[in-house]
Amino acid sequence: MYKKICLYIILFIPVFLFSQNQGYNSQDFWEKYTDALAFDLKLDPLSLKEANFHFRFWSTGQVIDIYKDDSNFIHGEITNYAKEYDEMNLGKRTFHSSKLSIKPEDASDVYQLILRSGPDSFPAGDAIDGWEKDTRAFVYIVESIDSGRYSFKYFPSANKQSSSNGVTTIQFFITRLGQIAKLKKAYKSFSVSIPFWCYTKGTQEVICKKNW
């Protein structure tokens, strides 16, 4: 007997995340979503922070924070998370999470990537040519504070066949951020500690542990 991780896709769409009736394509919906998730993960809402520079990127099962301290030193932190999946109680909000510091040199590289790519200037939502509308996949979210100015942008998963400049630029940014911060490795290490029999990472994919 041994444990094996099995993946399967559930056949319904969680109302709290994917309901069109709740304004899936509206910024107000995603702002409320991130506020609720930040509360669950014990993260301070970025919109309420007083900071010279703070960047927050929401990805599948992870939140990445890059920020400056009073000495202008760059820090980075990854919050890995999993939400328990209970088919008898789909509204259950039980999370397991942990924080991992990003190496100073990697945090600095991410900061330089942010400066070069300028995600704050990306068009948001379905305003990007070639970006999927009404998607059922994860929505990437970028929050930032720069010189006291707060910005919030959301990017539904893109059409992989699209070659528009807007889509290509954002995909490059997401890919490079993951490579520099070693996000896949970080979540793989975290997943060993997840206590739930079944869980999600912010998408409609459910991951379950089964005995064989």
Query: Which carries the bigger pLDDT value, residue 155 or residue 201?
Result: 201
pLDDT of residue 103: 97
Q: pLDDT of 150-195, one tens digit each?
A: 889 887 765 554 445 556 677 888 899 999 999 999 999 999 999 9
In 3D space, the residue among 53, 83, 78, 79 whose CA is nearest the CA of residue 151 turns out to be 53
pLDDT of residue 5: 37
Q: Which residues contact 6 (CB under 8 A, 6 or more apart)?
A: 207, 208, 209, 210
pLDDT of residue 171: 81
In 3D space, the residue among 57, 52, 48, 47 whose CA is nearest the CA of residue 78 turns out to be 57
What's this model's pTM, rounded to 2 decimal places? 0.81
Residue 197: count of CB within 10 angstroms of its CB = 12
Query: Which carries the bigger pLDDT value, residue 52 or residue 2?
Result: 52
* Number of domains into which the chain is organized: 1
Average pLDDT over residues 18-46: 79
156: helix, strand or coil: strand
Position 6 confidence tier, pLDDT thresholds 50, 70, 90: very low
Average pLDDT, the chain: 79
Checking if the pLDDT of 136 tops 60, the result is no
Q: Which of 6-15, 94-103, 180-189 has the lowest mean pLDDT?
A: 6-15
Answer whether 119's CB lies under 8 Å from 25's CB.
Answer: no
Residue numbers of the domain that contains 97: 3-211
Q: What percent of the chain has pLDDT over 90?
A: 44
Q: Which of 2-6, 60-64, 112-116 has the lowest mean pLDDT?
A: 2-6
pLDDT of residue 83: 95
Q: pLDDT of 70-83, one tens digit each?
A: 888 999 999 999 99
Checking if the pLDDT of 84 tops 50, the result is yes
